[in-house]
Amino acid sequence: MAMPAQLSSCGSRTAQLAGSAPQQRIASRAVCRAAPTHRQTVAVSAQPAAPLMLRGASSLRISRPAMQMARWRGVCNTSAFEAALENTFLPEMRETAQYISRPGHGILASDESNATTGKRLDSVGVENTETNRRDWRELLYTAPGLGEAGISGCIMFEETLYQSTADGKPFVNVLRDQGIVPGIKVDTGLQVLPGTAGETATQGLDGLGDRCKAFYKQGARFAKWRAVIKIGEDGCPSTTAVFENAHALARYGQICQENGLVPIIEPEITLGPGDYSIETTAFWSERVYSHVFRMLNEYNVQLDAILLKPNMILPGLDAPTASPADVARYTVRTCLRTVPPAVPGIHFLSGGMSEEESTLNLQALQDEVKRIGATAPWRLTFSYGRALQSATLKAWSGEPGNKAKAQDILVRLAKANSSAQLGEYSGDHPVPGGGRILQQLRFGGAGK
């Protein structure tokens, strides 16, 4: 599948409705801007419809709403966002989402803030400077054959989106030449919700529209916003935290789509301390995802132009490690119960899992779908950060002479996860063993 041609431009299609005089019943065709796979045929009436006020943030008045499908025959828009706002980015965003989530491909998450990147560089004795951060990202993006190895999208931090290689080639162009779609982290970090047991809200909605416009102009075509839901402690998650984060994800998704960026929706049930069971994680994941999709619908976010980035269903860090088969059984069940089939791809985060566990669990997801005889309507794939970067960083350790060795590890890890997404992984892992880690949450902004 070729990279979408609209990476540097966006096309538009204008909806055309054939009408006639009131009181006369006719047959009509309505040409819709939705993808052909979403076409529906219904009865038609030329009777003028009374304006309908749709619930939601936009509160748009539509005189002949596509929502009243029994009044039209043909292809219909199904939301105010499609029908009234005439978002010319929608065809491009749908194509981009399908491209990123196509078989055997996933996302490299390299959107760590400067503060978080600094901690990781410090772990291998490298100073946290702009030059060293650039050198690290250049190593990742210029790895020979990275796109062919199964990376179709790359999430970047804002600083990195505007950076270039040491010889002056913009990182955006480096990724495109590899067949990798550039993406951008747009949230500005976590803040503690007052009155909760350390639960968090994600910041960054202020000015997001203007920032999305700038990111699109720079070459980004998708975005990421991380919402963190805490479980395993009394009172967690609270309804306050669930509602706040579901609302923020929906508003972010709406703003992104208005400005041409495919939003990654990331409701992360974070892997934390405690001996809570895998069943507990499954229960809360279902509850949270249902609230998130309810809010996405309320804000008219087009589900065929998003990507979902959830957690796999895992027990607490102090509980016995679940087998890949158990992780897959609960994860697939949760997705089947909560994720609409319109969503093109579910890109799981590695969430504290080791490199090998991340690959084995991804393979097990495909095995579970086959075991239950289901046909998954979405791609079950990956958006890994630590599981692709950690061993690569250790191999590099800031030494120019280690660059080729480190890039080879990255490409082999990408190939392993690509094979797992296809359900074909077997043999020795490029980075065997390893244990889970507790991911510390950082508060107080994006750490620029």
Decide if 35 contacts 304 (C-beta within 8 A): yes
What's at 265, amino acid-wise? I
Scanning the structure block, which residue is given the tokens 């291998």? 124
For residues 274 and 317, the answer to whether their CB atoms sit within 8 Å is yes
Q: Are 214 and 220 spatial neighbours (Cβ–Cβ below 8 Å)?
A: no
Q: Which residue has the tokens 């008219």?
A: 300
CB contact set of 369 (below 8 Å; sequence gap of 6+): 332, 375, 376, 380
**DSSP line for 351-413:** TT--HHHHHHHHHHHHHHHHHTT---SSEEEEEESHHHHHHHHHHHTT-GGGHHHHHHHHHHH
Question: Which tens digit of pLDDT belongs to each residue from 343-388?
Answer: 999 999 998 889 999 999 999 999 999 999 988 999 999 999 999 9
440: pLDDT confidence band, cut at 50, 70 and 90? low
Confidence band, pLDDT 50/70/90 cuts, at residue 77: low
Q: What is the DSSP letter of 438?
A: -
Q: Is 209 helix (H, G, I), strand (E, B) or coil?
A: helix
Residue 159 near residue 448, CB atoms below 8 Å: yes
Nearest to 414 by CA among 359, 354, 365: 359
**What residues are annotated to the active site?**
266, 309
Contact at 8 Å (CB) between 134 and 171? no
pLDDT band (50, 70, 90) for residue 80: low
Compare 83 and 310 and report the one with higher pLDDT: 310
Give percent above pLDDT 70 in the chain.
79
- Confidence check: pLDDT of 443 > 60: no
Taking 80 as the threshold, does the pLDDT of residue 325 lie above it?
yes
How far does the chain reach from its first CA to its final CA, in angstroms? 36
Q: Check if the beta carbon of residue 181 is closer than 8 Å to that of residue 99.
A: yes
Rounded alpha-carbon distances, angstroms, from residue 155 to 121, 194, 392: 19, 30, 17
Question: At 439, is the pLDDT very low, low, confident or very high (cuts 50, 70, 90)?
Answer: low
Give the separation between CA 198 and CA 237, rounded to whole angstroms.
10
Q: Which two tokens stand for residue 130?
A: 């702009």
Which residues, including other chains, have CB under 8 Å from residue 373's CB and lie 6 or more apart? none
What percentage of the chain has pLDDT greater than the value 90?
Answer: 73
**Six-digit token pair at 92?**
């491009």
Helices (H), 178-238: 208-218
Summarised one tens digit per residue, pLDDT across range 202-259 is 999 999 999 999 999 999 999 999 999 999 888 899 999 999 999 999 999 999 999 9
